[in-house]
Structure 1
Amino acid sequence: MRPEGTNGTSGDELLVPMAWLYAEYIADELLRTGDLMPPTTLEFRAGRNALALTVFLSDGPVDGARLPARLDEWLSLTADGRPWHEWVCEQLNGLDAEDFEAGGHDPDLPLARAAWRWLEETELLAADLNAVGPAAADVRGGTEDEPRIWTPAWQLGLPLGHLSIHLF
């Protein structure tokens, strides 16, 4: 998605990052509709950022008529085992190159980059789903001896976003 144009003839007007704000809005609505966790948690933020990046970096506008096809596309992009991390890096690098050629005026790109940086640099303490043993067998238990590991935020946010799309 490219930045929205300005309505004036002067090039000095404020560019509003409408594509990014719209992607964040869609991600927020999907996560809130799924009602998987409170919106005040870091896990929710990770899911919103991961979904917003998916929406922002996937091609084409989102409108009511195309929403079912877009949901299928986002499900495919966020599916387990897909190279989502590499896809995001590739897409952002492509946008960086386009923005550089255009003179660096894309207001959406810094916000998308900040969300990606947060997802990569932030680690959240989560249940170790790969652990072997009795404590790991009952995922619902939530016992204190449950094995937990520090996980990059995108690795928690991505499956949360994927599940939210399914629940929509």
Structure 2
Amino acid sequence: MLHRGHESTDGTGGGELTVPMAWLYAEYIADELLRTGDLMPPTSFEFRAGRDALALTVFLSDTEGELSGIRVVTQLETWLSLTAYDQPWQDWVREALAVRAADALATGAQAPDLELAGNAWRWLEETELLAPDLNAVPGGAPGGEEEGPKVWTKAWQLGLPLGHLAIHLF
């Protein structure tokens, strides 16, 4: 018997597979937003960074457990505000993950969605991607570098603005 991740909360296990539907749905929404925006190839690390950042935003902003019932269009403004440049997104993610983990521990609930979200966050935080240096002086690139200087950037710092732009383009 399969259970949706947020419905199987008794923690008894019983040999039943708990499916992390909330996380999978958040990933699906993020994937579709990025594909619609056509900002980078879906096989690139940049796409993965954008998808994971958006999926975390979608998943963690669903505080009522209604993710599968939401209409994407009604949530776009919320996701835009959370992913805006001047917002402390990474602090919000850390805090929201900690709150969800504490809730799961207190209730003894299985949390496969939370585990996948935590894995995505760890990848975004621990992985660095070579990206254009957005703080470089225009025209200051050494001869021969058509794209300008590049720097190693945490995946979330690259994925978050890509996700934000994908929301705008939707």
**Fold match (TM-score > 0.5):** yes
Instruction: Please name the residue that 1:32 is paired with.
Output: 35
Whole-Å separation in 2 of the counterparts to 1:102 and 1:63: 22
**Contact persistence 1:47–1:154 (CA under 8 A):** yes
Matched AA of 2:130: L
Instruction: Please name the residue that 1:69 is paired with.
Output: 74
Q: Indicate how the Cα distance of structure 1 residues 65 and 117 shifts in structure 2: closer, same or farther if over 3 A, else same.
A: closer
**Contact persistence 2:136–2:149 (CA under 8 A):** yes
Matched AA of 2:162: L
Q: Paired residues, what number?
A: 159
The share of aligned pairs that are identical, in percent, is 66
Instruction: Please name the residue that 1:103 is paired with.
Output: 108
Whole-Å separation in 2 of the counterparts to 1:56 and 1:131: 34
Matched AA of 1:39: P
Local SS of the residue matching 1:37 = coil
Query: What is the correspondence of 1:44-83 to structure 2 with a 5 Å cutoff?
Result: 44-59=47-62, 60=64, 61-62=66-67, 66-83=71-88
Which of 125, 128, 133 is 2:130 aligned to? 125
User: Following TM superposition, by how much is the alpha carbon of 1:55 offset from its aligned partner in structure 2, in angstroms?
Assistant: 0.3
Instruction: Please name the residue that 1:16 is paired with.
Output: 19
Instruction: Please name the residue that 1:115 is paired with.
Output: 120
Instruction: Please name the residue that 1:148 is paired with.
Output: 150
Local SS of the residue matching 2:19 = coil
What residue ranges of structure 2 are gaps of 5+ in the alignment?
none
User: Following TM superposition, by how much is the alpha carbon of 1:14 offset from its aligned partner in structure 2, in angstroms?
Assistant: 1.3
Whole-Å separation in 2 of the counterparts to 1:67 and 1:25: 11
Local SS of the residue matching 2:75 = helix
Whole-Å separation in 2 of the counterparts to 1:99 and 1:11: 14
Q: Indicate the RMSD between aligned Cα atoms, in angstroms.
A: 2.1
User: Following TM superposition, by how much is the alpha carbon of 1:102 offset from its aligned partner in structure 2, in angstroms?
Assistant: 1.5
Local SS of the residue matching 1:15 = strand
